[in-house]
Every structure is written in C-alpha cells, then in structure tokens.
C-alpha cells in the first residue's frame, strides 16, 4: 500500500542522511584542523564519526520498523474489509431496535411480527457476521504478531474504549428493559412478542459483544504501534541529540583553546602593559607639577605675593611674557606695581648670590632673559636677537666697569664710561644699539631675603614685563630697543652707588648691539652673518622643567607602545573572526545533522499515527453503527 512504500522511501532517505552526516563530519574535522587546533579537531572528528554511527544504527532500526509497518498495513487492509460486515450488521440492528422502540407501546402486534422477522434476519446476518469475525481474527493474529515485534502495548486506549462501550451498552439495556417491562403489563396475548423481543435483545447483546472485542483488539494493536513508534523515535532523537551536544562541545572547545587566538591575547596583554607603563611615567611627572606663574594686574602689589603670581621655585617661572591686561593709566606707571612676587622658601634650591656673579651665573641669568625677549619677538613676527659670547662678554665687562665706577641707575651712555664703552664695541666691528636697565633685589632687601639666582630671575621677569607692557612714561623706549636691536647681552651689576645700593643691591643691564656699516670695494655695504662671533644656545626653556615635565622621549615611548598595541589588536580581531567563522560553520553543520535525523524519525511516527487514526475511525463507526 502507499504508506508502506512511503516508509521504504523514508528508510532510503535516512541512509542518504547518514552518508551526508559522514561527509559533514569529515568537513568539520578539516575545518577544525585549519584553525590550528589539531587535538580539538581530532576530538571533533571522532565525535562526528560516532554521530554517523548512531545515525546509521537509527536508520537500520527505522528500516526494520518500516518493514514491520508494511506488514501491519497489509493486515490492516484485511481488518478494514472484514469490519464492513460488522458495519452493515450494526446498521441493521440499530435500525430494527429503533423501530421496535417506537412501535412497541401502541403496536405490540407489529412488534411481535417484527421480532419474528428480525430473528430470521439476525440468523442470516449472524452467519455472515461470524464469518467476518473469523476472518478478522485470522488477520488480527498476523496483525498482532507484527505489532509485537515493535514493542509492548499500552492499556490506556483499551481502558478508554471499554469505558465508552460499557456506558453505551448500559443505556441500550436500560432502554430495552424499560420497553420489556412495559410489554409485560400488556395482556397475555403479547407474551410471544415479549419472548421474541427478549431473544432479539440477547442476540443483539451477543453481536455487540463480539464487535466490541474486535474493536478492543484493534485499539490494542493501534496503541502498540504508536507506543513502539514513539519509543523508537525517542531513542533515535536522544542519540542524535547526544551526538550533536558532544560535537558542539568539541567545536566550542576547539574555538576557545585555539593556539593563535591565545597567542594574540597574550600579545595584546603584553602590549597593553607597555602602554600602561609608558603612560604611568608621563602621569607621574604630570601629577603635582608646579604651576607656571601668571602676572598680577592689580595696583595692590601685595597680591603679587599670592596665588599663582607668587614664585617660590624655578619651575614656577614662565618662559613667555604674558600680557597682564592692565589699564591705559597703569601703562604709564612703570615700576609702580609688581606683576610677580618672590618669597624665599626651602623650595628655592638655587645659589645664594653675595657680591659679583660668576661668568657662569651671568650666562645662566642672560639665558633666561634672552629666552623671554626672543619668545616675545617671535610672537610679534620678529627674528630672534643674536646672543653670542662677544655680546655677553662686552655686557658683563660693562657691568664690572660700572660697578667699579660706582654708577647707579644711570644709563652708561650718560656717564663717563660712554666713550670707552662705545669704542670697545666699535673695535669689535659693531655699533652701540642702546641699553635697557632694571633694578634687582629690591624685594629681597625690603623683606630681608637672600638674593638668589631665582630671585634675580624673578626681577628680570618683572623688568621685561614692565618694559613691554608698562613703558608709557618712557615713551615706550625700552620696548623700541627690544624691537629694533640685532644682538644682546645681559648681566647683573652689583650696585655700589652709595645713594641707591641699599634700595636695590643689583642693577639689571640689557645692552644691545647692531652691525657696523662695512663697505666693500664697490661701495656696497657688506653683510657679515657672524658679525658677533660664536653664538650661545638657549637652554633654560628646554631644561628647567625636565625633571617634572614629560619629555619628548617619554611621549615617543608612549606613541611607540600604543602603535604596537594597535597592531596586535588589529591582528587579534582578524584571527578571532576566522575562528568564530569556523565555529559558526561547525554549529550550522551539526544543527543540520540533528534536524535531518529528527525529520527521519518523525516520518516513522507519522506513518504509525496514520495507522492509529484509521483504527480509531473503525471504533467510531462501530460505536455509531452498532450501539
């Protein structure tokens, strides 16, 4: 029949699924091997092959079940043919009983006649029915034998059918009994009719009992088919599920323990550690870094000794001359306000100055002063002033000459030293370019502080800021010198002027020099680039905060470490994508294997359920037609 053929075809499909599963397993093993996980890949391959073995076993079992189902289907056909006689007989009994019920009360004569006729009919039909039952019992023996090979039967369906049958038969008996009791109250002439009716009821009971037994046998057989089919499917599904779970676990382990990914993670961790170390060096230096002082713009000079206007250590010194944002009126008050204050503390570890500065100290002081001036000139679009050994030596010597001559806060050009000073400049191929002068150590003298290299640098900072932004009462002459000069020398002069030395023990000298006009043989002015001789290199700005500021090397180390981290991160992402793709492919393959196995098992269950449905139809027909 068609269902048996479908079962055979399903078995063949199961074999093909097994072959496909074997092919997928081999592909999974190769994919795992390519992911540098040899050991995990072998495990995956072994598990996959076991899955194929389980699938083949389930396929074989399914083929056996389909073969048995084919036999069952053949027996079922015969049962269905035999049951047609029961259906015909049941319809006749049902029709006769209903007719007897409706006419017995008022037409007992008709009932007696019908009872006699029905007995004759019953005997004829009973012969046919007995033959049908005998044939059905033969087929049922073969049917049950086939079902027995598939598994045990369940009494659940049988119990339900018995209960339904007993209920229906109780109703029929009660109805027939009521009618018989009614007839018994009629005249004696109806006794024969009553006897006939009793005999008819007895025959009906016998027939319905036989039909009931046949139905119960069919229900038992159908229930056995279903139980067996479900058992086989459950076992096959469980085996396929276990195999899939093991294969998934192996694929996941291969993914999680991939050597390349593990190496990448280690590389990323090491690179991150280097970045952290480089960043820590920078952060440690930046933590607690002293502020860079800002100028006070208040007429209250006491404020210069508060907040960020106060300078107590070298690292507080700015290297840019900041605009103090003073008013127009304040611009004409040169020397009358403090932009920055100095206070002697233990943070000042610079040398204490007593008397004349050494050449090294003079050069360090000039380094800071020229740094301030040249940074300002740069902001104005001007080139840097030349600071050379010649210009510095000339300025230092001028300071010494002034000290020896006890000259105070009077410009050199206005003293007796003017002629000799200018001649010395001329003899060195230059001309005098002007002079700016400031006072030093006035606060130290006032507060009783020691004069230190730091305090003198604060005096230079105040002086340069005043000359650039508060020089209105000098017609901005100091500012003009800063703009127009070609070269510079800076020195601190010990003030031995009896009238002013107590107020400001030091004078700050800014001497400017320009190139002399030298003519060549063709009456053209010759320009000599190195007219001042060897140049000094400014070092203050690049070194004075080197111990507290991150260096270029520090930032370079951080950039290198960060670049390495970016590289290993990029490689790690690529490798992770490869291994993730392998795992995704393995999961999809395993899922398809499980789906195919479950579909094959479902085909078996579907066939047996169809058999069950047909048998239940028989039960329904018997209940409606016979009872």
Q: pLDDT per residue over 396-437, tens digit each?
A: 999 999 999 999 999 999 999 999 999 999 898 888 999 999
Q: What is the CATH number of the domain that holds 335?
A: 3.40.33.10
Flag whether 397 is in a domain.
yes
Q: Would you say residue 188 lies in a domain? A: no
Same domain membership, residue 487 and residue 383: yes
Q: What is the mean pLDDT of residues 63-69?
A: 50
pLDDT per position as a tens digit, 133-185: 565 556 555 545 544 544 434 454 455 445 655 665 565 566 656 655 665 55
Q: Please write the tens of the pLDDT for every residue from 449-478.
A: 899 999 999 999 999 999 999 999 999 999
CB 621 within 8 A of CB 83: yes
Residue given tokens 């019920």 in the structure block: 101
Q: Tell me the average pLDDT across 233-252.
A: 80
Query: CA end-to-end span of the chain, whole Å?
Result: 31
472 and 596 assigned to the same domain:
no
- The reply to whether 280 falls in a domain is yes
How do strand 487-494 and strand 506-515 relate by DSSP bridges?
Answer: antiparallel
Higher pLDDT, 400 or 443: 400
Average pLDDT over residues 205-225: 60
pLDDT of residue 178: 65
What is the DSSP secondary-structure string of 550-589? PPHHHHHHHHHHHHHHHHHHHHHHHHHHHHHHHHHHHHHH
The Cα 27–Cα 33 span in angstroms is: 10
C-alpha span between 566 and 410 (Å, rounded): 65
Evaluate if residue 62 carries a pLDDT over 60: no
- The encoded tokens of residue 475 equal 């017609």
Query: Is residue 348 pLDDT above 50, yes or no?
Result: yes
Residues 507 and 542 in one domain: yes
Query: Is 193 inside any structural domain?
Result: no
Average pLDDT over residues 117-144: 53
Average pLDDT over residues 270-290: 79
Q: Mark whether 404 and 446 lie in a shared domain.
A: yes
Alpha-carbon distance 540 to 527, whole Å? 30
Same domain? For 536 and 583 the reply is no
Q: Do the domain assignments include residue 102?
A: no
Average pLDDT over residues 104-116: 45
- For residues 533 and 596, membership in a common domain is answered with no
The DSSP 8-state label assigned to residue 329 in this structure reads T
More confident call, 213 vs 390: 390
Mean pLDDT score, 344-352:
94
Structural element, H or E, at residue 395 = helix 389-404
Query: Do 252 and 356 fall into the same domain?
Result: no
Same domain? For 255 and 312 the reply is no
Residues 305 and 430 in one domain: yes
Q: Is residue 517 part of a domain?
A: yes
Q: What integer pLDDT is reported at residue 238 of this predicted model?
A: 76
Q: Work out how many domains the chain is built from and give that number.
A: 3
Are 456 and 365 in contact by the 8 Å Cβ rule? The answer is: yes
Query: What global pTM score does this model have?
Result: 0.47
- At 430 the three-state DSSP class reads strand
pLDDT at 373 over 60: yes
* pLDDT band for position 51 (cuts 50, 70, 90): very low
DSSP 535: B
Do 482 and 534 sit in the same domain of this protein? Answer: yes
What confidence score (pLDDT) does residue 183 get? 52
Residues 533 and 591 occupy one common structural domain: no
Res 455: pLDDT:
95
Q: Are residues 246 and 281 in the same domain?
A: no
Rounded Cα distance between 31 and 21, Å, is 15
Angle, vertex CA 123, rays to CA 122 and CA 125, nearest 5: 60
Structure confidence at residue 218 (pLDDT): 58
- Report the distance separating Cα 296 and Cα 309, nearest Å: 6
Q: Would you state the pLDDT for residue 112?
A: 45
Q: Domain range holding 320? A: 301-548
In-domain check, residue 197: no
Average pLDDT rounded to a whole number, residues 277-289: 72
pLDDT score recorded for residue 79:
44
371 vs 87, higher pLDDT: 371
Does some domain include residue 208?
Answer: no
Choice between 321 and 200, residue whose per-residue pLDDT is larger: 321
Do residues 354 and 494 make contact, with C-beta atoms less than 8 angstroms apart?
A: no
């Amino acid at each position: 029949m068609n269902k048996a053929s479908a079962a055979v075809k399903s078995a063949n499909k199961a074999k093909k699924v097994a072959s496909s599963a074997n092919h997928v397993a081999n592909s999974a093993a190769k994919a795992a091997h390519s992911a540098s996980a040899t050991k995990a890949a072998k495990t995956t391959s072994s598990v996959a092959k076991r899955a194929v073995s389980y699938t083949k076993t389930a396929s074989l079992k399914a083929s056996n079940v389909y073969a048995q189902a084919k036999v069952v289907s053949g027996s079922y056909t015969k049962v269905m043919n035999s049951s047609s006689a029961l259906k015909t007989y049941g319809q006749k009994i049902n029709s006769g009983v209903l007719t007897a019920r409706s006419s017995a009360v008022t037409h007992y004569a008709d009932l007696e006649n019908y009872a006699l006729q029905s007995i004759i009919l019953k005997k004829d039909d009973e012969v046919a029915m007995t033959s049908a039952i005998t044939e059905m019992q033969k087929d049922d023996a073969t049917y049950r034998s086939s079902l027995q090979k598939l598994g045990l039967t369940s009494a659940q369906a049988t119990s339900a059918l018995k209960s339904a049958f007993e209920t229906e038969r109780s109703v029929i008996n009660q109805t027939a009994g009521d009618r018989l009791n009614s007839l018994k109250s009629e005249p004696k002439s109806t006794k024969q009719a009553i006897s006939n009716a009793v005999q008819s009821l007895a025959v009906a009971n016998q027939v319905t009992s036989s039909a009931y037994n046949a139905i119960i046998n069919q229900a038992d057989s159908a229930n056995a088919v279903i139980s067996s089919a479900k058992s086989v499917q459950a076992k096959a599904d469980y085996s396929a599920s276990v195999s899939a779970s093991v294969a998934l676990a192996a694929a996941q382990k291969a993914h999680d323990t991939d050597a390349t990914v593990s190496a990448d993670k280690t590389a990323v961790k090491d690179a991150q550690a280097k970045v952290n170390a480089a960043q820590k060096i920078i952060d440690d230096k930046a933590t607690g870094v002293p502020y860079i002082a800002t100028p006070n713009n208040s007429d209250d000079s006491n404020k210069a000794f508060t907040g960020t206007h106060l300078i107590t250590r070298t690292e507080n010194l700015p290297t840019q001359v900041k605009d103090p944002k003073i008013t127009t009126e304040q611009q004409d008050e040169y020397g009358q306000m403090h932009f920055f204050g100095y206070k002697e503390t233990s943070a000042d570890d610079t040398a204490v100055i007593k008397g004349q500065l050494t050449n090294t100290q003079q050069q360090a002081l000039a380094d800071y002063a020229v740094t301030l001036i040249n940074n300002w000139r740069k902001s104005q679009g001007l080139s840097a002033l030349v600071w050379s050994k010649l210009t510095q030596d000339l300025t230092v010597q001028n300071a010494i000459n002034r000290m020896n001559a006890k000259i105070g806060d009077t410009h050199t050009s206005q003293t007796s030293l003017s002629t000799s000073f200018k001649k010395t400049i001329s003899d060195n191929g230059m001309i005098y370019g002007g002079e700016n002068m400031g006072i030093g150590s006035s606060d130290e003298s006032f507060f009783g502080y020691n004069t230190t290299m730091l305090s003198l640098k604060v005096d230079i900072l105040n002086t340069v800021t005043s000359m650039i932004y508060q020089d209105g009462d000098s017609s901005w002459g100091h500012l003009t010198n800063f703009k127009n000069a070609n070269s510079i020398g800076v020195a601190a002069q010990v003030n031995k002027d009896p009238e002013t030395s107590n107020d400001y023990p030091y004078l700050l000298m800014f001497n400017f020099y320009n190139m002399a006009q030298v003519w060549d043989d063709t009456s053209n002015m010759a320009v000599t680039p190195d007219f001042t001789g060897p140049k000094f290199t400014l070092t203050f700005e690049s070194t004075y905060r080197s111990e507290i500021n991150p260096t270029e090397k520090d930032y370079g180390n951080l950039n290198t470490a960060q670049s390495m981290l970016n590289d290993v991160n990029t490689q790690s992402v690529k490798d992770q994508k490869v291994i993730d793709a392998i795992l995704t492919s393995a999961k999809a393959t395993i899922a398809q294997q499980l789906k195919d196995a479950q579909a094959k098992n479902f085909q078996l269950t579907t066939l047996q359920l169809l058999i069950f449905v047909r048998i239940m139809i028989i039960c329904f027909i018997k209940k409606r037609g016979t009872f």
